[in-house]
Amino acid sequence: MQVQGLARLAARSLHRLLVGSSWGVVAALAVVTSFHLARTEPWTLVVGLIAVTPWIYMLAWVTCSIGLFFRRRVLASTSAVLVLLQLWWVVPDFDPIAHLVSPVPGDIRVTILDANVSQSNRNLSQLAAEIRRDRPQVVTLEEVKPVSLQSFALTHVMDRYRFNMVTLAFGSDGMAMWSVFPLEGASEWRAVGHPELRAWLELPGHQRLRIDVVHTNAPYGPGQPALWISQMVAIKQELAREPRPLVVVGDLNATWYDWHFQALLHLGLRDAAVVAGQGWRMTWPRDQQPVVPYLRIDHVLLSPAIALNSYHVSGVKGSDHDSLRVTIALGGH
């Protein structure tokens, strides 16, 4: 009888522990949800928690199961609401259906490779090998520095790119764009201090394609996330004025779940990863074992007149970001 009593006591203790812990988790997720719904991110911690929406809300599935198992209806129903919110936010990003468009005769196709090469990366030889293999017509880079650009030049892989615009910096502000097509009106603009690039690509058949290369400061450290928020707002305002057809590439330090990123999509732009059914492909951090990539902060956005033929994610040695390569098409004349 004493053993049975101890077993019942242990079961009750476990019951209270699981239910009490579940309520703690639900309360924490409710706080995160309040920031989500209010569209406010006053602290870096909130930005980070919203960024990992697919992962932290998996805890709600656990608390819902505990509530059902112990017949705690309020716990189960509250957790179920959090699960539904997670699905509402996550499912559109994790759309497994590819909406790629097969090339049509007469279409003008452009392959673009974009990469944040990392300001600490001194050797771009692997990226040069990738460019030599895939032969994109446009190459765009973020966080490019003089020393990394020098390693790039030694490979001579960029010799075929007659047109370019490069803004070098010793921090994370270095930006670059190379093209086999003429760049008309290539210029630099600033998003609250951060350089961004834009130009018209003069394509065959008198077609023109507007391209913007964007990057923001990461939303942590002194003055953050206020600076990052201001940069995202400035980028939205600038892209709203940009002519179409428009392709936007770069590292926004923002995930699908951030409302500042959603504001860009509300301009009529489409997320190429989602169009390709690869919203689940994370791009950061790479080569950080044992941590696996868990955020998608590198993006390609397309205006409606642009068809997406292919979308690929690959690694850049020495960088904590994956590179993106897309082939897009515009209707020929």
* Residue 279 maps to a domain: yes
Question: 22 and 64 share a domain?
Answer: yes
Domain that holds residue 252: 108-330
Q: Enter the tokens of residue 176.
A: 């670059």
- Please tell me the predicted confidence (pLDDT) of residue 189: 97
Q: In this structure, are 177 and 118 located in the same domain?
A: yes
DSSP assignment string, 92-117: TTT----------TTPEEEEEEEEE-
Stated pTM of the model: 0.94
- Regarding whether 256 and 179 lie in a shared domain, the answer is yes
Cβ count near 102 (within 10 Å): 8
CB 180 within 8 A of CB 161: yes
pLDDT of 257 = 97
**Is position 101 within any domain?**
no
Comparing 236 with 126, the larger pLDDT belongs to 236
231 Cβ contact list (under 8 Å, min separation 6): 191, 192, 193, 194, 216, 217
Q: How confident is the model at residue 12, as a pLDDT?
A: 75
Residue 97: inside a domain: no
Say if residue 112 is in the same domain as residue 84. Answer: no
- Residue 16: what are its φ and ψ, rounded to 5°? -65, -40
Both tokens assigned to 87: 């699905």
Same domain, 42 and 175: no
Judge whether 103 lies within some domain: no
Q: Give 10's pLDDT tier (boundaries 50, 70, 90).
A: low
3-state helix, strand, coil split of the chain in percent (to 5) is 40, 25, 35
Q: What is the pLDDT of residues 240-271, one digit of tens each?
A: 999 999 999 999 999 999 999 999 999 999 99
Give percent above pLDDT 90 in the chain: 80
Q: Is 102 a domain residue?
A: no
pLDDT at 5: 61
Using the predicted structure, report yes or no on whether residue 297 has a pLDDT greater than 90. yes
Nearest CA-CA partner of 176 in 200, 192, 196, 201:
196
Domain annotation covers residue 98 = no
Number of domains in the chain: 2
Say yes or no: 112 and 238 in one domain: yes
Q: What is the pLDDT of residues 23-71, one digit of tens each?
A: 999 999 999 999 999 999 999 999 999 999 999 999 999 999 999 999 9
Question: Nearest Cα to 100, choosing from 318, 321, 312?
Answer: 312
Q: Are 276 and 301 in contact (CB under 8 A)?
A: no
Are residues 165 and 209 located together in one domain of the fold? yes
Give me the percent of the chain exceeding a pLDDT of 70: 96
CA distance 124 to 312: 19
* 176 and 241 assigned to the same domain: yes
- CATH number of the CATH domain containing 260: 3.60.10.10
